[in-house]
């Protein structure tokens, strides 16, 4: 059964021993640094209360999904399921989803407190300054920005970083290719402001629909209903007509005027590859009102170095897995990505000479998200692609770098720190891609020296018999 709201999810995570409450931290850098240190140790969810300068009850949560167990909890999967099976379950679930439209209700807890006029001040909430060189307090790091197409009933949702700006405004960085941007641009072309809601805390399954790419015209709220297995409850706003998630923690309502009427200097903000890249004049939400629940919880999800696990399992890489299956490449055992999707590992059962290369070329040809994923590794079916140590072992013992590595020139992302300022100015956003065939050579794979690792059946039986001496070890 789906969680009704963020606090229900946090209570369930706490029951699993996956949550710690921290009292007295400062929103100014301390919460961000504790979050970073905790994530690097694969620690629990952090719920900050009694934040310096804020009343008790005005809380911030971070690292909310950052373990496979938390991902399983949020998706209703068994928490002890092996990681790769969890990703497979997510792939199968998302492939079979049928949209579930939101259910309209007349009221809900989000209406417990309403701030309007001068009182609608986003600094009322303890938005952290997450990293040392950030250009402001980023209140929206796991937000859902809801807009509606002016020409149809299509309600779009996307996650775009939101920073508190002066004059009761939030800046949003919405890239040109986002559906949310196309919708706003339609209003702007008519000289109008685009009505918008910025949702700042909801349960994880609902949130996960927001950064996922769904087809234009399909609402991510319907997708969220499908992920939850029940509709998202919404209240129709009498101000903008937009659907306000009834069980959200904090919702900012306002409008985004055309860029030539209002904008703000946005950034820098520590980004997911682990560097600062973007700053610029970006659009703003002029706030009309802020709704929030009693004892609100601001959902925080700051970008951290990609050595941490932000979502427990790399949900975005299922697009590569599906792509390989859809292109008819046989024998795919599983796909995983490491370093926040920058290195993709494909495990397969080789069936013909060149099979691994075919899979690598297909995987490297898909633009599935980050844009700066440059390393693609194919491994045999005895290697678990979700275990980076196993992938490294295969790379170090099955690859002849002279013959099993190929390098292509390809596109990359504007966030790629390796593009020189000069190339950036020329718009030359390209980077090499490395295809590494870490499989045993197909033609003599049967003569390849045997591994001295126990086989799975023997390991499993031994584990069952002796696990009391091994518990705490990650198999
Ligand atoms: C944590 C997180 C933060 C994101 N921040 C941004 C952002 O600041 N700007 C942006 O354009 N996309 C950002 N994205 C990606 C978009 O949310 C994603 O592309 C989404 O599909 C856009 O939705 P839309 O095409 O319906 O507008 C972020 C994704 C995640 C997971």
CA distance 296 to 57: 7
Confidence at residue 306, expressed as pLDDT on a 0 to 100 scale: 84
**Cβ neighbours of residue 203 closer than 8 Å, sequence gap 6 or more:** 2, 3, 4, 5, 6, 8, 9, 74, 247
pLDDT for residue 425 is more than 50? yes
pTM for the complete prediction? Answer: 0.95
- Total residue length of the chain: 475
Are 341 and 319 spatial neighbours (Cβ–Cβ below 8 Å)?
no
CA distance 374 to 339: 11
Residue in the block written with tokens 């629940």: 293
Q: Which is nearest to 35 in space by CA: 9, 57, 64?
A: 64
Nearest CA to ligand 1 atom 6: 160
CA–centroid distance, 162 to ligand 1, in Å, is 11
Confidence at residue 470, expressed as pLDDT on a 0 to 100 scale: 87
The answer, yes or no, to whether any atom of ligand 1 lies below 6 A from the CB of 145, is no
Q: Which domains does the chain have, with CATH numbers?
A: 6-299 (2.30.110.10), 315-470 (3.40.1670.10)
CA distance 431 to 151: 39
35, 65, 158, best to mutate for ligand 1 pocket (most atoms within 8 Å of CB): 158
The answer, yes or no, to whether any atom of ligand 1 lies below 6 A from the CB of 301, is yes
The answer, yes or no, to whether any atom of ligand 1 lies below 6 A from the CB of 211, is yes
CA–centroid distance, 173 to ligand 1, in Å, is 9
**105-136: pLDDT as tens digits:** 999 999 999 999 999 999 999 999 999 999 99
- The overall average pLDDT reported for the chain is 95
> Per-residue DSSP letters for 106-142?
S--GGGGEEEEGGG--GGGS---B-STT-SS-EEESS
Nearest CA to ligand 1 atom 29: 211
CA distance 68 to 3: 17
pLDDT for residue 369 is more than 80? no
310 CA: nearest ligand 1 atom: 1
Are 223 and 215 spatial neighbours (Cβ–Cβ below 8 Å)?
no
CA–centroid distance, 441 to ligand 1, in Å, is 40
Q: Which is nearest to 403 in space by CA: 348, 351, 356, 337?
A: 356
The answer, yes or no, to whether any atom of ligand 1 lies below 6 A from the CB of 302, is no
369 CA: nearest ligand 1 atom: 19
159 CA: nearest ligand 1 atom: 17
Q: Which helix (H) or strand (E) holds 308?
A: none
Confidence at residue 474, expressed as pLDDT on a 0 to 100 scale: 52
39, 94, 160, best to mutate for ligand 1 pocket (most atoms within 8 Å of CB): 160
CA–centroid distance, 369 to ligand 1, in Å, is 10
The answer, yes or no, to whether any atom of ligand 1 lies below 6 A from the CB of 270, is no
The answer, yes or no, to whether any atom of ligand 1 lies below 6 A from the CB of 341, is no
pLDDT for residue 475 is more than 50? no
142 CA: nearest ligand 1 atom: 1
CA–centroid distance, 144 to ligand 1, in Å, is 9
Are 177 and 213 spatial neighbours (Cβ–Cβ below 8 Å)?
no
Greatest alpha-carbon span in the chain: 76
The answer, yes or no, to whether any atom of ligand 1 lies below 6 A from the CB of 173, is yes
User: What distances in angstroms separate CA 256 from CA 217, 334, 438, one per listed residue?
Assistant: 21, 42, 50
Q: Locate the DSSP E strands across 349-454.
A: 375-380, 405-411, 430-438
CA distance 388 to 165: 41
CA distance 333 to 359: 12
- Beta bridge partners, 379, equal 347, 438
> Within 13 Å, how many C-alpha atoms sit on residue 63's CB side?
29
Sign for the pseudo-dihedral over CA of 290, 293, 294, 297: negative
156 CA: nearest ligand 1 atom: 26
**312-324: pLDDT as tens digits:** 999 999 999 999 9
**176-206: pLDDT as tens digits:** 999 999 999 999 999 999 999 999 999 999 9
**88-104: pLDDT as tens digits:** 999 999 988 999 999 99
177 CA: nearest ligand 1 atom: 25
Phi, psi of 363 (to 5 degrees): -65, -45
211, 217, 369, best to mutate for ligand 1 pocket (most atoms within 8 Å of CB): 211
The answer, yes or no, to whether any atom of ligand 1 lies below 6 A from the CB of 201, is no
**385-396: pLDDT as tens digits:** 999 999 999 999
Q: Which helix (H) or strand (E) holds 190?
A: none
Confidence at residue 116, expressed as pLDDT on a 0 to 100 scale: 98
The answer, yes or no, to whether any atom of ligand 1 lies below 6 A from the CB of 102, is no
**13-30: pLDDT as tens digits:** 999 999 999 999 999 999
Burial class (CB in 10 A: 0-12, 13-18, 19+), 434: middle
Helices (H) and strands (E) counted in the chain, each on its own, are: 12, 22
Sign for the pseudo-dihedral over CA of 420, 422, 424, 430: negative
The answer, yes or no, to whether any atom of ligand 1 lies below 6 A from the CB of 159, is yes
CA–centroid distance, 159 to ligand 1, in Å, is 4
Nearest CA to ligand 1 atom 28: 159
Phi, psi of 278 (to 5 degrees): -90, 135
pLDDT for residue 72 is more than 80? yes
The answer, yes or no, to whether any atom of ligand 1 lies below 6 A from the CB of 219, is no
**Cβ neighbours of residue 239 closer than 8 Å, sequence gap 6 or more:** 195, 253, 288, 289
For 440, which DSSP code? Answer: P
**282-320: pLDDT as tens digits:** 999 999 999 999 999 999 999 999 888 888 999 999 999
Are 399 and 436 spatial neighbours (Cβ–Cβ below 8 Å)?
yes
CA distance 67 to 79: 10
CA–centroid distance, 372 to ligand 1, in Å, is 15
What mean pLDDT do residues 249-261 have? 98
**448-472: pLDDT as tens digits:** 999 999 999 999 999 999 989 987 6
Q: Which is nearest to 7 in space by CA: 248, 308, 174?
A: 248
| Number of C-beta neighbours around residue 11 at 10 A | 12
**Cβ neighbours of residue 416 closer than 8 Å, sequence gap 6 or more:** 273, 277, 371, 372, 429, 431
């Amino acid at each position: 059964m789906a969680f009704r709201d963020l606090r229900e999810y946090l209570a369930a995570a706490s029951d699993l021993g996956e949550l710690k409450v921290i009292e007295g931290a400062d929103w100014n850098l301390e919460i961000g640094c504790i979050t970073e240190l905790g994530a690097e140790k694969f620690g629990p969810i952090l719920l900050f209360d009694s934040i310096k300068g804020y009343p008790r009850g005005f809380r911030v949560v971070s690292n909310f999904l950052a373990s496979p167990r938390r991902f399983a909890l949020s998706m209703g999967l068994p928490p002890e399921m092996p990681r790769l099976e969890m990703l497979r379950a997510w792939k199968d679930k998302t492939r079979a989803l049928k949209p579930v439209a939101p259910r309209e209700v007349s009221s809900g807890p989000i209406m417990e407190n309403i701030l309007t006029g001068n009182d609608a001040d986003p600094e009322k909430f303890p938005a952290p300054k997450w990293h040392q060189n950030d250009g402001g307090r980023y209140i929206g790091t796991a937000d859902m920005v809801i807009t509606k197409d002016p020409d149809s009933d299509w309600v779009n949702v996307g996650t775009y970083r939101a920073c508190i700006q002066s004059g009761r405004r939030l800046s949003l960085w919405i890239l040109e290719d986002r559906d949310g941007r196309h919708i706003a641009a339609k209003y702007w072309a008519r000289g109008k402001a685009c009505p918008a809601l910025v949702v700042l805390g909801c349960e994880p399954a609902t949130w996960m629909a927001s950064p996922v790419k769904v087809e234009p015209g399909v609402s991510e709220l319907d997708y969220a209903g499908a992920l939850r297995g029940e509709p998202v409850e919404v209240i129709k706003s009498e101000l903008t007509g937009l659907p306000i998630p009834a069980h959200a923690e904090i919702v900012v309502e306002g409008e985004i005027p055309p860029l030539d009427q209002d904008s703000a200097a946005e950034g820098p903000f520590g980004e997911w590859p682990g560097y600062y890249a973007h700053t610029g004049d970006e659009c703003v939400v002029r706030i009309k009102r802020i709704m929030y629940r009693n004892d609100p919880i601001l959902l925080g999800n700051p970008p951290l170095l990609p050595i941490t696990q932000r979502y427990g399992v790399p949900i975005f890489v299922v697009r590569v897995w599906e792509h390989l299956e859809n292109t008819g490449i046989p024998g795919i055992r599983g796909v995983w990505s490491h370093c926040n999707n920058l290195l993709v590992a494909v495990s397969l059962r080789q069936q013909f000479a060149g099979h691994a290369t075919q899979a690598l070329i297909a995987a490297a040809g898909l633009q599935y998200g980050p844009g700066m994923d440059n390393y693609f590794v194919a491994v045999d079916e005895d290697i678990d692609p979700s275990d980076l140590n196993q992938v490294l072992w295969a790379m170090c013992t099955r690859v002849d770098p002279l013959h099993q590595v190929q390098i292509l020139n390809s596109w990359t992302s504007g966030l790629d720190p390796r593009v020189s300022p000069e190339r950036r100015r020329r718009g030359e956003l390209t980077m090499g891609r490395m295809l590494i065939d870490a499989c045993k050579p197909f033609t003599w794979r049967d003569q390849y020296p045997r591994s001295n690792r126990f086989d799975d059946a023997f390991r499993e039986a031994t584990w069952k018999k002796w696990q009391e001496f091994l518990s705490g070890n990650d198999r």
